[in-house]
Amino acid sequence: MARFIFITGGVVSSLGKGLASASLGALLQARGYKVRLRKLDPYLNVDPGTMSPTQHGEVFVTDDGAETDLDLGHYERFTDVTARKGDNVTTGQIYSDLITKERRGDYLGGTVQVIPHVTDLIKEFILNDTDDADFILCEIGGTVGDIEALPFFESIRQLGYELDRNNAVFVHLTLVPYLSAAKELKTKPTQHSVKELRSIGIQPDILLCRSEKEIPENEKRKIALFSNVPEDCVITAPDLKSIYQVPLRYHREGFDVQILKRFGLPYQEKLNLDKWEKLVENDLSPKGEVNIAIVGKYTGLSDAYKSLVESLHHAGMANNIKVKISWINSRTFLLENSTKKLKEVHGILVPGGFGSDGVKGKIAAATYARENNIPYFGICLGMQVAVIEAARNLAGIKDANSSEFTEDGTHVVGLMTEWSRGSLIEYRKKTGDLGGTMRLGNYDCSIKPNTLARLIYGKAKINERHRHRYEVNVDYVEQLEKSGLKFSGTSPDGTLPEIVENPNHPWFIGVQFHPEFKSRPFCAHPIFKAFVKAAMDLSGLQK
């Protein structure tokens, strides 16, 4: 039977529960345990797929096609354990299942209530599909005290009671703020947060205290005293230069040892974390810097592009270079004449996106990259705009467009109505639901020989994660290829263009999939690595 670690948060949101959970997962893994990480989100959307990335942050897509919370990206990057559909649940999903059951008559004769019906479904979700792990790390979204999170807290409270005491540990992440005027660290918010948690029946075993300063022993003692947590289980979680320092720091603080102690498991103090040490050393001592522009419309919130930013970070580490990101808002691109900002960059990346807003700016960025021989990397929508740009300016299809943006013009990019997944055919109608109905998750792609893509991947068959509703119209492929583009990757049956490149340009590639979901700190994604290398070549830097 797997053991469960419940991670909750208090005081304020955005303390980095996801990173904390991922780092603990990595430490337990380094001790030879098998881990799975899960996230329970208290909002009412069935999944984050229909939320704006500027509100919620990136939607992370799993191999099996689930649209999930961005924390699952941290989990995968830190542990390299492939997340599954069942690793993220929301209140919306729970209620949707509950109401389906109620209508079917599963609860016939009974009154359906939050306790026990909602909490039972939450517990079922937590306990389901856990056979292949020694530890399930279960993160509860939001902050203790949130009304909407109550059923989740109640469920883990019940589990703490129902599971053997040696099978559940509660970790609470809080904030110990530093007041610069008083020159003091304040423990009161943590005390209150623990009080709040205890008022709903949960006594934390370990406190992780985020703080911009080291927390001295006497402050730790105070927190321990007020919260009934042993002093050596009050762990400092300070701000660090690199996120990959977090597992190292936690280990130094004794976090993993305390976890094993709480479970009554044998442990050795020492743990070999050489690979993490090397990674951090590399991360903190780059040999130079390249400047990459990201031209997108969600630039107001860098979490909206979390995996992208991390993939560039990984590619930088793989090339011993720091990647500086210049954020360029595609919505205001033309208004602000942003091409002048592109003069200072060594690479242009146009990421995924939805809707017509900001598309003109993205197309202008693709034109600039093509005409000025700047490395261009288009992801999903970034590929589609590169194709529209080439159709207009190279193939002479002046009104080339996507049916996503307008009814008018020549649709070189159009709605995908039918595609195959293995032996299954999936269909979509224009009027169908928007939630969860895109071409989602892992699909195979065949790469043609003698192409940039083939050189980058070094193989002919790849699979990558997708999240799109539109695709390049195959009817125009021949005409586009005559004008200079090369469709170097397609679905194995040849019907869906997956990779496009421009052989007349030093480095220009567009991909219909999202490689950023598969990049790892210990194994940078080959396209990102090659893109950063191309940017280094342009800037005159050598590896």
Q: Which stretch binds ligand GLN (CB under 6 A): 7-15, 34-42, 207-215, 468-476?
A: 468-476
Please count the other Cβ atoms lying within 10 Å of the Cβ belonging to residue 295.
32
Give the shortest CB-38-to-ligand GLN separation in angstroms.
25
Nearer to ligand GLN, 187 or 512 (CB): 512
Nearer to ligand GLN, 383 or 536 (CB): 383
Output the residue with the shortest Cβ distance to ligand GLN.
Answer: 352
Give the shortest CB-180-to-ligand GLN separation in angstroms.
42
Q: CA 386 to CA 383: how far, in whole Å? A: 5
Contact assessment for residue 64 and residue 441, using Cβ atoms and an 8 Å cutoff:
yes
Q: Which of 219, 501, 516, 525 is catalytic?
A: 516
Nearer to ligand GLN, 290 or 304 (CB): 304
Nearer to ligand GLN, 255 or 470 (CB): 470
User: What residues from 366 to 385 belong to the interface with ligand GLN (CB under 6 A)?
Assistant: 380-381
Q: What is the number of alpha carbons within 13 Å of residue 207 lying toward its C-beta?
A: 36
Q: CA 403 to CA 406: how far, in whole Å? A: 5
Choose which of 135, 255, 354, 507 interacts with ligand GLN (CB under 6 A). 354
**380 catalytic per annotation:** yes
Give the shortest CB-351-to-ligand GLN separation in angstroms.
7
Nearer to ligand GLN, 229 or 328 (CB): 328
Note whether 16 binds ligand GLN by CB under 6 A. no
Contact assessment for residue 461 and residue 446, using Cβ atoms and an 8 Å cutoff:
yes
Kind of pairing, strands 410-415 and 470-472?
antiparallel
Give the shortest CB-291-to-ligand GLN separation in angstroms.
23
User: What residues from 385 to 444 belong to the interface with ligand GLN (CB under 6 A)?
Assistant: 404
Q: Which of 341, 354, 243, 336 is nearest to 294 (CA)?
A: 341
Choose which of 38, 468, 505, 518 interacts with ligand GLN (CB under 6 A). 468
Give the shortest CB-514-to-ligand GLN separation in angstroms.
7
Q: Which stretch binds ligand GLN (CB under 6 A): 262-270, 271-279, 425-433, 465-473?
A: 465-473
Note whether 465 binds ligand GLN by CB under 6 A. no
Count of residues interacting with ligand GLN (CB under 6 A): 10
Give the shortest CB-30-to-ligand GLN separation in angstroms.
34
Choose which of 352, 375, 414, 441 interacts with ligand GLN (CB under 6 A). 352
Q: CA 392 to CA 398: how far, in whole Å? A: 5
Choose which of 353, 375, 489, 497 interacts with ligand GLN (CB under 6 A). 353
Note whether 362 binds ligand GLN by CB under 6 A. no
Note whether 469 binds ligand GLN by CB under 6 A. yes
Give the shortest CB-47-to-ligand GLN separation in angstroms.
15
Site string for ligand GLN, 492-511 (x = CB under 6 A): --------------------
Give the shortest CB-307-to-ligand GLN separation in angstroms.
12
Tell me the β-bridge partners of 327: 294
Q: CA 39 to CA 167: how far, in whole Å? A: 19
Residue 267 in tokens: 């442990």
Q: Which of 411, 468, 514, 525 is catalytic?
A: 514
Tokens 């423990």 sit on residue: 187
Alpha carbon 235 to its chain's center: 26
Note whether 76 binds ligand GLN by CB under 6 A. no
Give the shortest CB-378-to-ligand GLN separation in angstroms.
9
Kind of pairing, strands 418-421 and 424-427?
antiparallel
Note whether 67 binds ligand GLN by CB under 6 A. no
Order across the sheet with 439-447: list the strands. Answer: 322-329, 289-296, 347-350, 376-379, 508-511, 497-501, 486-490, 439-447, 461-468
Residue burial 240-265, b: 16+ Cβ < 10 Å; e: rest: eebbbbbbbbbbebebbbbbbbbbee
Q: Which of 200, 182, 142 is nearest to 17 (CA)?
A: 142
Give residue 149's identity as a one-letter amino acid code.
Answer: A
Q: Which stretch binds ligand GLN (CB under 6 A): 222-230, 359-367, 463-471, 482-490?
A: 463-471
Note whether 517 binds ligand GLN by CB under 6 A. no
**514 catalytic per annotation:** yes
Residue burial 156-166, b: 16+ Cβ < 10 Å; e: rest: bbbbbeebeee
Q: In terms of C-beta distances under 8 Å and separation of at least 24 residues, what long-range contacts does 264-267 make, across chains too?
A: 264/166, 267/31
Note whether 470 binds ligand GLN by CB under 6 A. yes
Q: Answer whether the bond into residue 116 is a cis peptide, omega within 30°.
A: yes
Residue 286 in tokens: 């780059």
Q: CA 467 to CA 438: how far, in whole Å? A: 6
Note whether 298 binds ligand GLN by CB under 6 A. no
Q: Which of 236, 275, 231, 268 is nearest to 252 (CA)?
A: 236
Q: Which of 346, 380, 466, 505 is catalytic?
A: 380
Note whether 467 binds ligand GLN by CB under 6 A. yes
Note whether 198 binds ligand GLN by CB under 6 A. no
Any idea which residues carry the catalytic annotation? 380, 514, 516
Contacts with ligand GLN by CB under 6 A lie at 352-354, 380-381, 404, 467-470
